[in-house]
């Protein structure tokens, strides 16, 4: 198979963790006789510094001619700590989602047995947690108009706007995933207060009538936030709007033991984007101590979701779990005995190579 992957390393620890994901992808190429070409482009603070634009046209062009996008992270203190900055790295991410119509964010929440004691929750609560969140990504309060400030600056306002079509297209993806899992979807909303949430319930209920095999239930977002802590094993497929999804997926990620363990996919009409859910973590940038596992697992999602390479994706996930079992972790997981970013990436790549050799 020949495919082109856009590589947007971004800011902070983004370049370091993406490099380890690329290391593993190159082993996959060799082991399975694939040929991936990699096209690098700028985004975020790095792009602002170079071009003045957090998502330059050159980067959009690279994304549009690629078959998938591997993305690191964006953000830098010089923009984060300046409330007057008119151009910000995060604007690049929002612009990319809109330009590429990446309307659904998919975040699997999985726990590993070896990391059970790393979770802030009791081990028995997090064992065998396995659910996935489908978050609508290009609508809602992050994009709604009008927004702004009053002339005197004392009042600010944002609009939460959703259309039936925006809701329906991500709902379809969530139900498709439910068929492959345990056939249960939980819609998370705030329908007791918000008109947009009531539209969500209406659209999802109508769609569910066409799929009687799927069990659909509803949960207010505040209740869902509590349930994720009290009983995370309750969930199978979670469907929600943009801001609620942003919040509850970050909450859910913590129960796994480390933000550095969870990948994500953003999909739409054509090209898919794959990224670790963590931020740019500028305090650790360039120090070779960031956890590359989420970026490596994002590469696994890329192979399966965009390229249909299920065996190759499974090999990476198995290698990650085996590396964890052997204690090859970064300092965020084990502060007394840990390895560097590159050492963990080397270990996963080596295990992927060994697995293929064992089957020949």
Coil, helix or strand for 328?
coil
Catalytic residue among 9, 23, 190, 347: 190
Bridge partners (DSSP) listed for residue 189? 220
Out of 30, 78, 122, 222, the active site residue is 222
Which has the closest alpha carbon to 312: 356, 360, 267, 344?
Answer: 356
Out of 19, 80, 158, 246, pick the active-site residue: 246
Tell me, what's the pLDDT at 358? 60
For the domain made up of 1-104+259-360, give the CATH fold.
Answer: Isopropylmalate Dehydrogenase (3.40.718)
Q: Which of 19, 130, 142, 234 is catalytic?
A: 142
Q: Of 49, 130, 158, 250, which one is the catalytic site residue? A: 250
Q: Is 11 a catalytic residue?
A: no
Residue 190 annotated as catalytic: yes
- Catalytic residue check, 281: no
pLDDT of amino acid 359: 59
Q: Where in the chain is the domain with CATH 3.40.718.10?
A: 1-104+259-360, 130-254
Quote the CA–CA distance of 79 and 77 in Å, as a whole number.
5
CA distance linking residue 353 with residue 319, whole number of Å: 9
| Residue 337 confidence (pLDDT) | 94
Distances (CA, A) of 59 to 39, 46, 192: 10, 12, 42
Answer yes or no: 246 catalytic.
yes
Q: Say which residue the tokens 């978050």 belong to.
A: 135
- Each residue of 135-165: pLDDT tens digit? 999 999 998 999 999 999 999 999 999 999 9
Global pTM reads 0.90
The architecture that CATH gives domain 130-254 is 3-Layer(aba) Sandwich (3.40)
- Residue 218: the pLDDT is 98
CB 352 within 8 A of CB 317: no
pLDDT, one tens digit for every residue, the chain (360 residues): 999 999 999 999 999 999 999 999 999 999 999 999 999 999 999 999 999 999 999 999 999 999 999 999 999 998 878 777 889 999 999 899 989 999 999 999 999 988 888 888 998 999 899 999 999 999 999 989 999 999 999 999 999 999 999 999 999 999 999 999 999 999 999 999 999 999 999 999 999 999 999 999 999 999 999 999 999 999 999 999 999 999 999 899 888 888 899 999 999 988 999 999 999 999 999 999 999 999 999 999 999 999 999 999 999 999 999 999 999 999 999 899 999 999 999 999 999 999 866 654
CA 111, CA 229: separation in Å to the nearest integer?
Answer: 14
At 44 the pLDDT is 96
Question: Helices in the chain by DSSP H: which ranges?
Answer: 14-32, 45-51, 57-64, 77-80, 89-99, 123-126, 164-180, 195-208, 221-230, 242-254, 293-305, 310-325, 341-359
Active site residue 19: no
Q: Are 205 and 218 in contact (CB under 8 A)?
A: no
Give the pLDDT confidence score for residue 118 in this predicted structure: 85
């Amino acid at each position: 198979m020949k495919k082109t992957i856009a590589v947007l390393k971004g800011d902070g620890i983004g370049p370091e963790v993406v490099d380890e994901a690329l290391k593993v992808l190159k082993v996959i190429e060799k082991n399975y006789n694939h040929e991936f070409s990699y096209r690098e482009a700028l985004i975020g603070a790095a792009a602002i510094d170079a071009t003045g634009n957090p998502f330059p046209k050159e980067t959009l062009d690279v994304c549009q001619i690629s078959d998938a996008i591997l993305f690191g992270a964006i953000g830098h203190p010089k923009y984060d700590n300046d409330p007057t900055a008119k151009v910000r790295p995060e604007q690049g991410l929002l612009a990319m989602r809109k330009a590429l119509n990446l309307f659904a964010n998919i975040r699997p929440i999985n726990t590993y047995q070896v990391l059970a004691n790393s979770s802030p929750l009791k081990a028995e609560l997090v064992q065998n947690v396995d659910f996935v969140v489908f978050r609508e990504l290009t609508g809602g309060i992050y994009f709604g108009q009008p927004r702004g400030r009053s002339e005197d600056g004392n009042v600010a306002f944002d609009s939460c706007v959703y259309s039936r079509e925006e809701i329906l297209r991500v709902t379809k993806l969530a139900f498709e995933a439910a068929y492959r899992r345990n056939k249960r979807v939980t819609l998370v909303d705030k329908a007791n207060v918000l008109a947009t949430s009531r539209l969500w319930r209406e659209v999802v209920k109508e769609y569910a009538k066409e799929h009687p095999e799927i069990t659909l239930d509803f949960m207010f977002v505040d209740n869902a936030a509590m349930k994720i802590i009290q009983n995370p094993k309750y969930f199978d497929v979670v469907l929600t709007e943009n801001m609620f999804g942003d919040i509850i997926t970050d909450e859910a990620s913590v129960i796994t033991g480390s933000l550095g363990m969870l990948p994500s996919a953003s999909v739409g009409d054509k090209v898919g984007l794959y990224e670790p859910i963590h931020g740019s973590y500028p305090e650790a940038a360039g120090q070779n101590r960031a956890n590359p596992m989420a970026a490596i697992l994002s590469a696994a999602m890329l192979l399966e979701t965009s390229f249909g390479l299920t065996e190759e994706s499974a090999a990476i996930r198995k290698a990650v779990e085996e590396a964890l079992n052997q204690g090859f972790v970064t300092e965020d997981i084990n502060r007394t005995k840990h390895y560097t970013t590159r050492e963990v990436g080397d270990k996963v790549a080596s295990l992927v190579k060994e697995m293929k050799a064992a089957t020949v």
